[in-house]
Structure 1
Amino acid sequence: MDLEVLLAIFWAMFLAELGDKTQVAVLALGAAGKRRVSVFIGASAALVLSTLIAVALAEVVSTRVNPWLTQGLAGALLIVVMGGIYLVGALRPAAG
């Protein structure tokens, strides 16, 4: 196991997940009742499963597609998605 990669992925995921809609949903579900352990286990299992799917797909993609292409596409997709989010936010009328 590569500790440097493990820590880099941990911090990237940790920071990316802070304040996202999933965390807000988990917060709401946890606050709604006394079954916080079940909320924690369910949310943790969902994150583990989605990560497992992503890693499995990455394994398949990495054997068939040039890494340069996948990194370029991932970067372009990130720019398009984040740009779209900011553009939509900028074009909305100001509340008030």
Structure 2
Amino acid sequence: MFVAMNRFHVAVGQEEAFEAVWKGRDSSLADMPGFIDFHLLRGDSVPDAGYTPFISKSNWESKDAFVAWTKSENFRAAHRNAADNRSMYLGPPKFEGYTVVEGA
């Protein structure tokens, strides 16, 4: 299994708007071969730094399945308007990908 995560620093006060963007998106993830599931995670705000951490996390049967998603028309369509929401973030998201070594 492969876990793909993007870490976001969302400006304090923009949390609900950020969540609404994710809840309203048309990702077509479920249509992709090898897709298992998706979660949007929200951490505790860091007021002194001015952000709330979020992680978008998707699980895939393999890294190859994830890479195929990133090269698909579904991916391009899901991310087409991403730049419209830049004002919500403190910097760009940080991608992290992991191959599961052991799991329950």
- When the two structures are superposed, what TM-score results if normalisation uses the length of structure 1? 0.30
User: When you count helix as a share of all residues, which structure comes out higher?
Assistant: 1
For CA contacts below 8 A with separation 6 or more, give which structure has more relative contact order: 2
**Which protein shows a greater Rg?**
1
User: When you count strand as a share of all residues, which structure comes out higher?
Assistant: 2
